[in-house]
Amino acid sequence: MAVIKKGKKTLAALSCAAMGLPGIQAKAAVPVAEPESNVQYGYYREQGDRMKAEVYHTDFILPFADRVEFTFSADFDTYVGATPLYSVPESVPDIVSAASAEFEAAWHMASPLLFSDESTSIESTITQEIVLREGFNYFVDPFNGDFNVKPEFKKEGKVRTIEEFIGFSVDETATTKQIKAEQPRESRTMPILGANLYLGPVTVGLSGGFSNEPDFNSAFGSSNLSWEFNNKLSAISLGYSLTSNDITRNGGHGSGHHSGFGEVLDETSTFNSFTGGFSQILSKNTLLQLNAGYTAQRGYLSNPYKFVYVRGEVTADEYYNLLEETQLDDGDWAKYTDLEVVGVDIFREVRPEDRDQWFFATQLNQHIPALDASVHFNYRYYTDSWKIRSHTFELDWYQSLPFGMTVTPHVRYYSQSSAEFFAPYFLAPRADGHYSSDYRLSSYGKISSGLSVSKQFTKGVRLDAGFEYYIHKGSLKMGGDGVGDYADITSYLLNASLNVNLSSLSSSMGSHKGHDMHAHHGAHPPAGVMAGHMLGKAGDLMVGYQYMYVDKAGDTVRGAYNASDESIVNNACAGKTCSSKAREMTMHMHMFNFMYAPTDWLNLMLMPKIISMEMDMEILPGADLDEAHEGAHLSEGLGDTLMMGLFKLYDNHTHHLHLGVGVSAPTGNIDATLSGLEDTDLQGYGMQLGSGTWDLKPSLTYTGQANSWSWGAQANATKRLQHRNKDGYALGDEIQGSVWGGYSFFPWLSASVRGIYTAQGSIRGKYDGNSLLSAPTDFPENYGGEFWDVGIGMSVSPSRGTLVGNSFSVEWLQPVKHDYNGYQLEQDGSLSVRWGYAF
Amino acid sequence: MLWYVFIKRSCLVLFILLSAVLQVGCSVAPWERGNLAKTQMLIVPNPNRTALRRHVFDSKESSQGGMGTAGGGCGCN
């Protein structure tokens, strides 16, 4: 039997090769028997002040019926840092480079130099260069009594000055410099749903999802088919995917991305992608895979935030005409160029509206039995209709070590030629009107090397960690004819992931699960109770997810009563006059819960979380507009991480008592700014993702159950362990008490009612960095208070069928009486949804 | 036409390899496939790490596709 099982696993390799769903790989040619889950954290950073990105990923594979499994994955990225906008010859002075960032400001800076009538240099230019040749009377008409320069020569002088200004003598061999712009913190969310159908030798996979960014939304779907034949030694796969993108940009402030000069943009693009693959077992130690693919991209394929420097696209004559016609900043550029003007000789890039891409890839896996190691060799050739060609080579050495460890060193080399419309800068216009100076379309080479370590724990839990370092250089291009060194950059990638395979877990744990579920029956505390439940037996594990939504909207309240705008303006800003107030604030919190019981009386719990908050500000009547800020402000990313030990104090099946001792680590960012740019004015304290301090979180929980009834009570507290955080303040301490009762209508369904009292202190200290101090949320005294809430909840825990072991619960908290410190936005209520899987 | 030549060559290479490997491949009996069954012999032993790296490569390089997957949508440039 064991041999046959191994044979099946081999097919796993094949079908994995054949199956390809974005984000999730099918791992076996049979559906998973029990759920499987992964979480991963990735951190990518470029040298210096360049791009930093964090990537959070989670996925689940859930079996459904015999031949079907569902897959779900979610990715959440945030990124911030400087990105190259365009590049110019080193000799072009800063006045041109400044033009791109804030065109109007730069234009006004340039205008007096170029076009001032008072400028005597214009007339002296004429005299120096032409008077000697043409004679003085050529320029003035003294015989008619007019000693001023004739108007037509005034024009010539000005045009010449413009020419001189924009036509700096550029040495063709001059070095290139990159002009960068600060990218405000931004995030992307990508959920994907999929299903795999297993029909004997044929496997069908379907998936679809979205990727949402403030300025780039895409929706995609894919289908894959794989077929095993030849005694399951060969497999063929076919795939098709369709992606539809929507690219938008609002002009001006508040767009959340490179605010400043820019026209409103609303464009679309569509990608159709076809792949085909063939996998073959060559020997008992060798596996080969071949893949080929074609993608047709149509529509807006430019990068809306990249610029190009083009000399001569608008000539000096045309600049002069524009200036004479009107103010240049609202001049009619379209008469002179098809490009979008963003500065003096700076334009938005334009790429062709179609792109055809082809690739051919191969992978060879060779096992080396003597070393218990496997070598993977990969090669990919890529070419497209933009004339980019690339070669990618990769070598990975998977070395098994004792204690379930695997160490994998790897190297990769990548080399590409440039797009035909790429240049660092353009000294003449191109006939086809296509331009890009995006260094990613240049010719360069990249070498990277890294190490990844994997440790398989018993019971189907695996931890992975990896590091990779990249060197991007023009001179590393194959053949050496790269773009030069101005865009050379190094970067690195760190990642850590946890894989939980419940199939292995349940099989190793035998029959105890049913009993465990019985013990939990009806005793799940309401969804909003934190650390209210303990695992019953040594060796038990639980993974869970909890979502919390909080909405504050409408009136600003002082104490327990509504405050008028006048009262806010005069009293809510610590002696200053308030100029803005919050209109609405929403928070989405995603908490991931891992619990493990090393002994019967102790549970260890780890809970990282991701928070997304949005606050909408409005300007108060009579405000000082210099300080006021309005519109939506965002704050998103990793929150504080809770680590907790739960100690069982008493348990006799009817009554249960446990103590929780938790520590919250300050992993949440507390530097969220209004503009999203680093080191600018901070958002209000409530919009920061963490406390910035190490916090102690003790709790005491009692639960009881008899027949269909269950009940419980919990007291918990939050004590800040540090006097101040790095920004000069500490959030208030907190105590909370709650009491609940529940009734099971069916063995699998129960409802609960809960009463909650919470007291939270106001903030101690205050920001010692930049803060606008213009809204109530900017002041420490407007935080905390005393709150009474009532919670209505429902809980479902299936006792039979494929969903045994899962528990779902939901609870809505309705404010009953809230007594706020200072002036605060009133809370409408909060929703908690919890899912847990114990095994 | 560049793409035409590319496809023609790919097909040729594929055909030759296909006929070659089908010959040798037949010789591996099910009980000889123990090593092939190991995680390290999967085409993608760690799909999450592979997806993360592909995300970085797709954002920072001009080539897309390959590595056993059809591309999803991503505006992460």
Same fold, A2-83+180-303+352-420+442-503 and A511-838: yes
pLDDT exceeds cutoff 60 at A141: no
Which residues are CB-contacts of B60 (< 8 A; sequence separation ≥ 6)? A440, A472, A491
The CA distance from A551 to A586, in Å, is 5
Contact B36 A287 (CB under 8 A): yes
Residue A260: the pLDDT is 40
Q: Are A98 and A345 in contact (CB under 8 A)?
A: no
Whether residue A624 is predicted with pLDDT greater than 90 in this model: the reply is: no
Do the Cβ atoms of A295 and A272 come closer than 8 Å?
Answer: yes
Closest CA to A244 of A207, A274, A211, A292: A211
Q: How far apart are CA A641 and CA A638, in angstroms?
A: 8
pTM reported for the whole predicted model: 0.69
Helix-strand-coil split of chain A, %, nearest 5: 15, 55, 30
Q: With an 8 Å Cβ cutoff, is B5 touching chain A?
A: no
Percentage of chain A beyond pLDDT 90 is: 45
Domain boundaries, chain A: 2-83+180-303+352-420+442-503, 85-179, 511-838
Helix (H, G, I), strand (E, B) or coil at A96: helix
Give A143's contacts (C-beta < 8 A, 6+ positions apart): none
- In the predicted model, is pLDDT for residue A128 greater than 80? no
pLDDT score of A482 more than 70? yes
* Closest residue in chain B to residue A183, using alpha carbons only: B77
Cβ within 8 Å, pair A275-B56: no
Q: Does A255 touch chain B (CB under 8 A)?
A: no
User: Which residues of chain A lie closer than 8 angstroms to B32, CB-CB?
Assistant: 284
Q: Which residues of B touch A217 (CB under 8 A)?
A: 75
Q: What is the sign of the dihedral through the CA atoms of A484, A486, A487 and A492? A: positive
Number of helical (H) and strand (E) elements in chain B, helices listed first: 2, 0
Q: Does A149 contact chain B (CB < 8 Å)?
A: no
| Interface touch B65/A382, C-beta < 8 Å | yes
Facing residue for B53 by CB, picked from A79, A288, A493: A493
Record: contact A192-B66, CB cut-off 8 A: no
Q: Least CB-CB distance to A23: which of B38, B72, B76?
A: B72
State the CB neighbour count (10 A cutoff) for residue A324. Answer: 12
- A 582-641 near B (Cβ less than 8 A): none
Find, in chain B, the residue whose alpha carbon is nearest to that of A389: B63
Contacts of A378 in chain B (CB under 8 A): 67
Q: Are B67 and A219 in contact (CB < 8 Å)?
A: no
- By Cβ distance, the residue of A4, A20, A190 closest to B68 is A20
- Single-letter amino acid, residue A674: L
* Residue A6 or residue A707, greater confidence: A707
* DSSP codes, A222-246: EEEEEEEETTTTEEEEEEEEEEEEE
| Contact status of B27 with chain A (Cβ, < 8 Å) | yes
CB pair distance less than 8 Å for B43 and A273 = no
What confidence category does residue A167 fall into, taking pLDDT thresholds of 50, 70 and 90? low
Cβ distance A440 to B10 less than 8 Å, yes or no, reads: no
Q: Kindly determine whether residue A295 and residue B32, on different chains, have CB atoms separated by under 8 Å.
A: no
User: Contact A241/B24, CB-based, under 8 Å?
Assistant: no
- The mean predicted confidence, pLDDT, of chain A is 82
Rounded Cα distance, A361 and A144, in Å? 82
C-alpha closest to that of A491 among A81, A39, A40: A81
Query: Chain A closest CA to B45's CA: distance in Å?
Result: 9
What pLDDT, in 10s, does the model give residues B11-43? 677 677 666 655 554 578 878 888 888 889 988
The predicted structure's pLDDT at residue A674:
83
A41 reaches B (C-beta below 8 A): no
Question: How many other CB atoms are found less than 10 A from the CB of residue A78?
Answer: 19
DSSP secondary structure code for residue B45 in this structure: S
**Shortest Cα distance from A65 to chain B (angstroms)?**
25
Find all residues with CB under 8 Å of A108, minimum gap 6, and list them: none
Calculate the CA A70 to chain-centre distance: 25
**CATH 3.30.70.270 is held by the domain A511-838:** no
In this predicted structure, what is the pLDDT of residue A22?
27
Which segments of A11-153 are extended strands (E)? 36-46, 52-64, 68-89
Locus of tokens 């998103």: A636
A454 forms bridges with which residues in the sheet?
A406, A464
pLDDT digit string (tens) for A492-540?
999 999 888 766 555 444 434 444 443 444 467 899 998 888 888 887 8
pLDDT at position A494 is 95
Chain-chain contact of A303 with B77 (C-beta, under 8 angstroms): yes
Facing residue for B67 by CB, picked from A245, A361, A367: A361
Instruction: Name the more confident of A530 and A31.
Output: A530
Find the distance separating the first CA and the last CA of chain B, reported in whole Å.
30
- Region A66-87: mean pLDDT is 88
A620 pLDDT higher than 50: yes
> To which H or E segment does residue A269 belong?
strand A265-283
Whether A359 sits inside 8 A of B70 (CB atoms) is no
Q: Under CATH, what is the fold of the domain A2-83+180-303+352-420+442-503?
A: Porin (2.40.160)
Among B7, B17, B40, the residue with its CB nearest the CB of A406 is: B40
- Residue B73 contacts A where some CB pair is shorter than 8 Å: yes
Contact A72/A37 with Cβ under 8 angstroms? no
The answer to which of A484-493, A601-610, A804-813, B5-14 has the lowest mean pLDDT is B5-14
Q: Where are the beta strands (DSSP E) in A652-784?
A: 655-665, 695-706, 709-720, 729-730, 734-746, 749-760, 764-765
- Note which residues in 153-172 of chain A have CB less than 8 A from chain B: none
Average pLDDT of span A625-642? 83
Helix/strand/coil for A431: coil
Question: Within a 13 Å sphere around the CA of A13, how many CA atoms are in the beta-carbon half?
Answer: 31
The two most distant CA atoms of chain A are separated, in Å, by 119
Q: Does residue A682 sit at the B interface (CB-CB below 8 Å)?
A: no
Select from A359, A385, A464 the Cβ nearest to the Cβ of B65.
Answer: A359
pLDDT surpassing 70 at residue A297: yes
Nearest by CB to B30, from A4, A282, A289: name it.
A4
Backbone angles phi, psi at A100, to 5 degrees: -70, -40
pLDDT of A423 reads 92
Contact residues, A window 429-468, toward B, CB-based 8 Å cutoff:
440-441, 446, 452, 454, 464, 466, 468
User: Does residue A383 belong to the interface with chain B, where contact is any CB pair within 8 Å?
Assistant: yes
- Inform me whether the C-beta atom of residue A361 falls under 8 Å from chain B C-beta atoms: yes
Least confident of A47-61, A351-365, A409-423: A47-61
Q: Is A256 on the interface with B (CB under 8 A)?
A: no
Q: Report pLDDT for A17.
A: 33
Question: In chain A, which residues have their Cβ closer than 8 Å to the Cβ of B62?
Answer: 384, 386, 388, 390, 416, 419, 440-441
Put simply, whether A365 touches B (Cβ < 8 Å) is yes
The pLDDT value recorded for residue B74 is 41
pLDDT digit string, tens, across residues A190-249: 999 999 999 888 999 999 999 988 888 999 999 999 999 888 889 999 999 999 999 987
Average pLDDT, integer, range A815-823: 91
Residues A280 and B43: their CA atoms lie apart, in Å, by: 11
Contact A233 B28 (CB under 8 A): yes
B12 and chain A in contact, CB less than 8 A:
no
Contact (CB<8Å) B34/A392:
no
Q: How confident is the model at residue A116 (pLDDT cuts 50, 70, 90)?
A: very low
**DSSP-based helix, strand, coil % in chain B, nearest 5:** 60, 5, 35
HEC sequence for A100-129 = HHCHHHHHHHHHHHHHCCCCHHHHHHHHHH
- A–B CB contacts, 8 A cutoff, strictly below: 270
Chain A residues in contact with B30 (beta carbon < 8 A) = 3-4, 6-7, 231
**pLDDT (0 to 100) of residue A362:** 94
- List chain B residues with CB under 8 Å of A291: 66-68
